[in-house]
Amino acid sequence: MTQPHPKAYPSEEPHLPHSDLPHSDLPDLDLPDSDVYILNWGTLDRYILRALWLPFWLSVSAFLSISLTLGTVFDLLRKVSDKGLPLKTALQIFGLQIPNFLVLALPMAMLLSCLMVYNRLARTSETIAFRSLGVSAVRLAVPGLLMGLWVTAATFMVSEFIVPSANWQASQLTDQALQQVKPAYRDKNIFYREFQDDRLSRVFYARRFNGEVMQDLTIMTFSQGLLAQILVTESGQWNPVSQMWDLLKGTTYSLGEDALTYQNINTFGKFSLDLSRAPLDLATEVRRADEMGILDTYQYWRLVKGTGDTRQTRQLDVRFQTKLAFPWVCLVFALVGAALGLQQQQRSSSKGFGLSVVIIFAYYTAAFITRSLGEAGIISSLIAAWIPVFVGFGVGGLLLRQANR
């Protein structure tokens, strides 16, 4: 009896198309590991950046509104009600204050947006899917870090080219509206010292200054640490052509080697003194540190350093280094936010916001402490300004390493 032929069922193996090439001629494809493409731009980066964009700007709006309300709105309302500041002027000052508080809001928004977006990826198990495909946590954090670099550059541009001018205009508008107009120079007690080989070489003092002419000048010259000459004159003015000071109607007292007795006393009607224009620059610079850019701060620091005022020199040095270090907070917060969001522990949005506030408070408290230590001379200005940034990078790197396990 003939057995029935068994029914043929389709194979469960996938059907591979036939190639006309012999097996030996097929190309040998070497598929690299996904980490090789860690810097390659692709769909993953665009996907995460699109997810970051909206939360970032919403966070900027939220932090900017909070900081403006706490930092300037209440103060302007008090000036409008108590001191008669015109409402139109108050609105102008409010607009000029926006760049200053925007610089503060950008790093905080970077932290919150990275924390929210990467935490959402973890809650929806998208990070698990990416990790199963061989995509590391470091690779997932790259788009957030790239956006952090962009925000760092934007923060630097705004803080350097917009904020100083806006703060200066806001200060001038406030003084004019409240009839507290101050001269654009120091009008009295102009004091300047020069040093040579760490020894005091000259002391310059003017009792009054009208913006062009120094009046009631006293100039003392030292030699080998001893007083050698005293020059007293009614007025003096900087001559930009000869690059010297033109002194009028004065008396020169030359002292002996013991610096106690006079050797010669001479009077003059006009005398040209070879002295730098630093006293004039000091007298005409009345801006605060937040009204100066990095270059202006550095130039003013050099002027003050020449006077031997160590306390103000340290303060300006710390401010100068802080202006350089502050924009990098955006990249620090992007790294910390991405690393925390990629942790296995999942958080709600409200908890993410609360964690952001804690991190921001801790960072700025540490930055305030180190800056105070730098201004007091306990640590160097370089360490005072940059140590919070380096510590932030270290903490963020450790958290990212932990998330990558």
Answer yes or no: do 281 and 241 share one domain.
yes
Written in H, E and C, the secondary structure of the chain is CCCCCCCCCCCCCCCCCCCCCCHHHCCCCCCCCHHHHCCCCCHHHHHHHHHHHHHHHHHHHHHHHHHHHHHHHHHHHHHHHHCCCCHHHHHHHHHHHHHHHHHHHHHHHHHHHHHHHHHHHHHCCHHHHHHHCCCCHHHHHHHHHHHHHHHHHHHHHHHHHCHHHHHHHHHHHHHHHCCCCCCCCCCEEEEEEEEECCEEEEEEEEEEECCCCEEEEEEEEEECCEEEEEEEEEEEEEECCCCEEEEEEEEEEEECCCCCCEEEEEEEEEEEECCCCHHHHHHHCCCCHHHCCHHHHHHHHHHHHHHCCHHHHHHHHHHHHHHHHHHHHHHHHHHHHHHHHCCCCCCCHHHHHHHHHHHHHHHHHHHHHHHHHHHCCCCCHHHHHHHHHHHHHHHHHHHHHHHCC
Domain count for the chain: 2
pLDDT band at 344 (very low <50, low <70, confident <90, very high): low
Answer yes or no: do 246 and 339 share one domain.
no
The verdict on residue 275 lying in a domain is yes
- pLDDT, tens digit (0-9, with 9 covering 90-100), for 30-73: 434 444 444 456 788 999 999 999 999 999 999 999 999 998 99
Answer yes or no: do 47 and 168 share one domain.
yes
pLDDT band at 350 (very low <50, low <70, confident <90, very high): low
Answer yes or no: do 112 and 134 share one domain.
yes
Mean pLDDT (the chain) is 86
The verdict on residue 305 lying in a domain is no
- pLDDT, tens digit (0-9, with 9 covering 90-100), for 223-260: 888 899 999 999 999 999 999 999 999 999 999 877 77
Cα separation, 159 vs 165, in Å, equals 10
The verdict on residue 33 lying in a domain is no
Answer yes or no: do 248 and 358 share one domain.
no
Q: Which domain holds residue 273?
A: 188-285
The verdict on residue 18 lying in a domain is no
Residues in contact with 274: Cβ distance below 8 Å, sequence separation at least 6, in sequence order: 244
Answer with the residue of higher pLDDT: 184 or 378: 378
Helices 310-325 and 349-375 cross at an angle (nearest 10°) of 150
